[in-house]
Amino acid sequence: MRAVLSKAPGGPETLVVEEVMDPTPGPGEVVIEVKAVGVNYPDALIIADKYQFRPERPFAPGAEVAGVVDAVGEGVKGVFRGDRVVAVPGWGGMVERLKVRAETLIPIPDGMDYETAAAFIMTYGTSYYALKDRANLQPGETLLVLGAAGGVGAAAVELGKAMGARVVAAASTNDKVEFALELGADNGLIYPTGPMDKAAQKALSGEFKLSTGRDGADVVFDGVGGDYAEPALRAMDWNGRYLVVGFPAGIPSLPLNLTLLKSVSVVGVFWGAAVAREPKANAANMAELMQLWKDGKIRPRISRTFPLERAHEAIQTLSERTAVGKIVVKVED
């Protein structure tokens, strides 16, 4: 089978496509014929040795896949050849056939295509866990989303609206802000792309305050970090919750006096670890997310797809900051 392999740390250009041995399922395992792979920013981090996990090389990136069960190992119960499933292995997904533990599979609901299924779990799972379980977002509250046209950001916009919040979308280009407004954001603003000095950060904080309203944001969803973090923290309301989700713009430091002044909580979000520690809570969230999808309240917007041979270009769109919504790698037969 073909696999996209990282053989040395580096950017997407270091990835190669090679023939490797087909996997066979051991006890408790299944092999999935992969149809589509969702692309996430962690794919860019993991191939550069900049992620929480450092798999042994060579390895394939690709955190989440959708496909069909092709072979079932000994002792597997309740999973059958032909089942349409999603798996979230963290890495290893950009291959034609993937071996995973049977109990980790999530069935794809009727009517959901493979591309949508591959672009669903990681972003909505993260953003729902963040907004519901970590921030306890309430109807009527104001939610400021940074990077609102990215994977987790766009999911946060849709989920914020579905949860009854007033959503303010912030992003680096007019197209990205327009995209977030189409997703349902109530208000939007463009922020600068480059590093910002103190004066520029102060000006941005003023923009955030103007867009969120007189009292500021109750919840900030920060999947961006860098110089955007402090201006967002300064634009928060009393009892605000600041969600630390990701750092494509760099890992920020925050002056803690700002949290004291407004009784703001800075809340860490690590969805993957939460899934491992609290599988029942995650299963309940997944069921709620599937219901929101069935009700038409959330829908991954896939702006581009790439074949497996060009998976490196798919990851490049994220590392170059040009992706809007979700990018998916399609595995052709």
Ligand X SMILES: NC(=O)c1ccc[n+]([C@@H]2O[C@H](COP(=O)([O-])OP(=O)(O)OC[C@H]3O[C@@H](n4cnc5c(N)ncnc54)[C@H](OP(=O)(O)O)[C@@H]3O)[C@@H](O)[C@H]2O)c1
The Cα 145–Cα 254 span in angstroms is 18
End-to-end, the C-alpha distance of the chain in Å comes to 11
Tell me which of 25, 61, 151, 188 binds ligand X, using CB under 6 A: 151
Give 268's contacts (C-beta < 8 A, 6+ positions apart).
134, 244
212 near ligand X, rule: CB under 6 A: no
Place of tokens 């999973």: 79
Place of tokens 């170059």: 320
**Closer CB to ligand X, 27 or 194, in the complex:** 194
101 near ligand X, rule: CB under 6 A: no
Span from 15-23, 151-159, 213-221, 307-315 in contact with ligand X (CB under 6 A)? 151-159
Residues numbered 34 to 73 that lie near ligand X (CB under 6 A) are 40-42, 45
Span from 4-12, 18-26, 296-304, 317-325 in contact with ligand X (CB under 6 A)? 317-325
Q: How many residues bind ligand X (CB under 6 A)?
A: 29
CB of 18 to ligand X, least distance (A): 26
306 near ligand X, rule: CB under 6 A: no
The answer to whether residues 300 and 327 touch, using CB atoms and an 8 Å cutoff, is no
Label the pairing between strands 217-222 and 187-190. Answer: unpaired
The Cα 232–Cα 174 span in angstroms is 19
Among 219, 222, 208, residue whose Cα is nearest residue 147? 222
Which DSSP string do the residues of 140-176 spell out, in sequence order? Answer: T-EEEEESTTSHHHHHHHHHHHHTT-EEEEEESSHHH
CA distances to 13, 34, 44, 173 from 315, rounded to whole Å, are 9, 18, 6, 20
Tell me which of 14, 132, 270, 305 binds ligand X, using CB under 6 A: 270
171 near ligand X, rule: CB under 6 A: yes
CB of 99 to ligand X, least distance (A): 23
157 near ligand X, rule: CB under 6 A: no
Peptide bond into 307 cis (omega under 30): no
CA distances to 4, 24, 152, 219, 319 from 41, rounded to whole Å, are 16, 29, 10, 23, 7
Assign 135 to helix, strand or coil: coil
Output the CA angle 90-94-100, nearest 5 degrees.
Answer: 55
321 near ligand X, rule: CB under 6 A: yes
Residues numbered 213 to 232 that lie near ligand X (CB under 6 A) are 223-224
CB of 88 to ligand X, least distance (A): 11
**Closer CB to ligand X, 149 or 229, in the complex:** 149
169 near ligand X, rule: CB under 6 A: no
CB of 329 to ligand X, least distance (A): 14
Residue length, the chain?
A: 333
Assign 215 to helix, strand or coil: coil
**Closer CB to ligand X, 30 or 245, in the complex:** 245
Q: Which residue is nearest to ligand X (CB)?
A: 150
172 near ligand X, rule: CB under 6 A: yes
Tell me which of 249, 298, 308, 311 binds ligand X, using CB under 6 A: 249
**Closer CB to ligand X, 150 or 216, in the complex:** 150
CB of 328 to ligand X, least distance (A): 12
* Residues lying near ligand X in the complex (CB under 6 A): 40-42, 45, 122, 126, 147, 149-153, 171-172, 176, 223-224, 245-249, 269-272, 318, 321, 323
